[in-house]
Structure formats: C-alpha cells, structure tokens
Amino acid sequence: MERERKNTVTEISYILQQEEGTTEKTDSLSSLPQALFNYINSIVGSGIIGIPYALHRAGFGLGLLLLMVVAVITDYSLILMVRCGHISGRFSYPGIMEAAYGKWGYYLLSVLQFMYPMLAMISYNVVVGDTLSKVLIRFLPAWDIGSMGTVRFLVVFVVTVCVVIPLCLYKNVSRLARASFLSLACVVFILFAVILKFISGDYDVVPSVDSSWRFANIDVIPAIGLMAFAFMCHHNTFLVYQSIRGATLERWEKVTHISIAFAWAVAALFGITGYATFKALSQGDLLENYCWDDDLMNFARVLFSVSILLTFPIECFVSREIVKNQIHRYQSSTPVDSYEKDSDPTHALGEDNDVLSTRITLAIVLTAFLISPMTECLGPVLELNGLLAAIPLAYVLPGLAYIQMESHSLFSREKLPAVGLVAFGTIVTILGSASLLVPSLTGDCKSNIVLDYCKNYGS
C-alpha cells in the first residue's frame, strides 16, 4: 500500500528534474547497495498483512509454494520490463505500452493504474475503520460493542473529513515522501510484534480445526491475487533502474533477484508466523485476529492506521492525475506521443487547475468512502485489487509488450516464457474475477464480534 505513494513521489521528483534540465543527475545516481535498499523499500509494504490469510485460502503447504512461484514470476516480469525499455528506447511503463500498442495500450494502462489506487483507498477505509474501532472500544469500554458497525462508520467519516480530505488537497505532495521511512518502520514493528506474540504463546488458546494444516485448499486463485498485490512494485521499475550508476541489464538482474528474494523472505516469515498463531482462523487483516484488549497489538493497529493515512493522499494523487490527464488530452486533442509532457505534475498543480483538482479530489475521496461500508472484510478487497489490477499490471501487460516488440517468432525460446507469463496472468484474472464477484461484497470475516479465544485473554 505505502509503496504506491513512494513510487509516485519518486516519479514526481524525477519528472521535475527532467523538466528543469538539471545537471546534477549523475551526482544523484545510486550505487548498487543504495538501489537495493530503494527497491526493497518499494516492494515490502503493508500487503504482507494479508499473507497469512492467503495461506489459509490456498492451504498452508501449497500457499508457501505459491508464494515462491509468485516471487519468481514477479522477478521475471520486472526484468522483462527493462528489456522492453531497451528494445523500444522508452524507459517508462506508459512508454513501452505506447510503443507496443499505441494509444490503446496507453489507455488500457491508464484504466488499470486508476483502478489499482482506487481499490487501495477503499481497502484503507476498511482497515482504518476496523482497527481504530477496536482501539476506541478498548479505551472507551462504555461504548456498546453491538453498535460496532455505527462506530466503524463514524470513525471512517471523521477520519475522511478531518484527515484524509485535507491531506489529499495538500498541494506540495512531494513533502509526504518524508513519511516513507516511517511507513516501512511501521511494517517492521508489526512484523516483530507478530513474531513476539507467536513466541510468547499468548494465543496458544486459539483452537486448531481439522483444516488448519491442510496442504491444499480450493481457493488457490484468490490467494494468488493477494500474493501478487503484496509483490506489486512495477510502477517503480524504471525509476530504480535509471537511478543505478552504470545501469546495465546484468546489474539490474542482480538488483531484482536480491530485492525479490528479500521481500519473499519477509513475506514468508510474516505468513508462517501469523498463520501458525491463528491457523484456519486467519483473517484478511491479520490484526483483526488479535484480541481487543491486547495493548501491544492495539499499538500496532494505531501504527498501521497512521501508515495508511499517510499513504491515502498519494493514492488519491495517482487517481486524480490520471483523470486530469485524460481530461486534458480530450480537451486539447493531445497526441499520444506527448504522454510524458502531459503527465508532468507541474501542469496538474498549476493555479488554473485548482478548482478542477479540488472537484476531482473530492469525487475520488467520497467515492471511496461510500463504497467502503459495503464490506468489513479486507481480504476480498485485497484479492480483487490483486486480480483485477495488480496481476494485469505485473504480468499480463509486460508480457504482451515484450511479445509485440521482440522480433522472434511467438513460440521461440526468447518469447515462450513471456507467452507463459501472459497466459498465467490472464487465466488467474478471469477465474479469480468470476469467483470473487459475490464473496467480495460479503466475505467471511468476523470484525464485529469478540472471538471466543479472546473472552479469557489475559486471565
């Protein structure tokens, strides 16, 4: 989740430097270790909060295997994107899609890039409503637990009006980049808290049902969507690549391999520890599994909410700029070849566009607010985002771009892995979208009740 914010801020800074014609680009290039840290920071995000739930959906054994498969496929797709950049001579995601498929490739990418942050913002409202409601109940015990739905709605409403809207209307978005380290620190703290709770045995009372350690379950496709969301970092690919001093395909492959391997280790550690604690009871937001009077995890809930609130305005910024670019292109009949110029945020933040920016921002924020009460379950929202946006962005489009631009035959040794990547992404997206159509609105989480094992927690 927070990685989308970091990617966008980095992209803004890069474009502004290009427009200003700075001569300091060479001095700002990063070494290989620095590039590794930046890339790892962009991959390891709050999506790992749903990995235990993904293991529950797919089955513990098969889920761990799928986590490795998704990591390997993501690794290949990231390398493939840079290869496409070298073939086309255009080192940006929109650039390679435009080079491969013209304006329709650009428009398809725009739709998916709008959908991804929009669904992320909806999931943020779900998380903030659930987590802060639990904290309020803990410190305001006079509140009726039976009215949790009302409390949750009021929390989201107050946060939207008092925090989210002011932040989303904030013009100097680049200053929010300072929160990147804080967001990563929050995720690291939550990981250590989860490990500590597992080691301490505080939740040994959680019952283990027959399906807890089943090797495989039937919900494989939704689990893949959740895992793909956790590894989604493709918007950042060319920015990290071009930041490497002496960048080559060989150096890029090394950076990608190490970064993905580290991200997989973190996700696997979080998934194994979280699932071992709650087993088949693991929910889409693992923090929902912890008891309401567990003060350490309440602190983790607050940190998670803070991280999300710092992320929300940048997700909104991404969606807003996509809408404004489309309006600008339509009004001026701008050629497709001027994408990079149209995407310059200096245009979007001009004084003449303040009213338009405000209207679009309010429309996006209020849409996310109105949709979020339709579900109290984070898992299905993350799955939908993974299946409808993350998988096409991460697997289908890079594979299609490479197939279109690479000169060898379709089933040649050079193209065959890309064909498999597209086929995998397409099949998972189609099957997953159909299976999640109804469950995405309901889900099986238990956010409004005190779980049985929590009734005697701490006694």
Q: Please tell me the predicted confidence (pLDDT) of residue 248.
A: 80
Q: In the structure, what pLDDT confidence band is assigned to residue 441 with cuts at 50, 70 and 90?
A: very low
Q: Please tell me the predicted confidence (pLDDT) of residue 339.
A: 37
Q: In the structure, what pLDDT confidence band is assigned to residue 269 with cuts at 50, 70 and 90?
A: very high
> Are the C-beta atoms of residues 43 and 74 closer than 8 Å to each other?
no
Around 209, how many Cα atoms within 13 Å sit in the side-chain half-sphere? Answer: 8
User: Which two three-digit tokens encode residue 22?
Assistant: 């700075």
> Are the C-beta atoms of residues 170 and 313 closer than 8 Å to each other?
yes
Q: Which is higher by pLDDT, 26 or 420?
A: 420
Q: Which is higher by pLDDT, 325 or 429?
A: 429
Which residues are CB-neighbours of 271 under 8 A, at least 6 positions away? Answer: 48, 51, 52, 54, 55, 63, 64, 67
Question: What is the mean pLDDT of the segment spanning 445-453?
Answer: 65
Q: Which is higher by pLDDT, 425 or 113?
A: 425
Q: What is the pLDDT of residues 291-345, one digit of tens each?
A: 888 889 989 888 888 877 877 887 788 788 788 877 877 776 544 443 344 344 3
Given a cut of 60, whether residue 409 has pLDDT beyond it is yes
Q: In the structure, what pLDDT confidence band is assigned to residue 392 with cuts at 50, 70 and 90?
A: very high
Q: Please tell me the predicted confidence (pLDDT) of residue 382.
A: 79
Q: Please tell me the predicted confidence (pLDDT) of residue 42.
A: 66
Phi, psi of 392 (to 5 degrees): -60, -45
Q: Please tell me the predicted confidence (pLDDT) of residue 197.
A: 92
Closest listed residue to residue 213, CA positions, set 60, 65, 62, 51: 60
Q: Please tell me the predicted confidence (pLDDT) of residue 204.
A: 84
Place of tokens 């962009």: 42
Please state, in angstroms and rounded to a whole number, the distance separating the CA atoms of residues 357 and 368: 17
Q: What is the pLDDT of residues 160-205, one digit of tens each?
A: 998 888 888 876 555 555 555 677 778 888 889 999 999 988 888 8
Q: In the structure, what pLDDT confidence band is assigned to residue 24 with cuts at 50, 70 and 90?
A: very low
Q: Please tell me the predicted confidence (pLDDT) of residue 363.
A: 92
Please state, in angstroms and rounded to a whole number, the distance separating the CA atoms of residues 102 and 404: 11
Q: Please tell me the predicted confidence (pLDDT) of residue 213.
A: 84
Given a cut of 90, whether residue 397 has pLDDT beyond it is yes
User: Which two three-digit tokens encode residue 220?
Assistant: 């494989």
In the chain the domains, ranked by start, together with CATH numbers, are: 2-454 (1.10.4160)
Q: Which is higher by pLDDT, 208 or 358?
A: 358
Given a cut of 60, whether residue 112 has pLDDT beyond it is yes
Amino acid occupying residue 336: V
The structure's pTM equals 0.78
Q: Would you tell me how many other CB atoms lie within 10 Å of the CB of residue 171?
A: 11
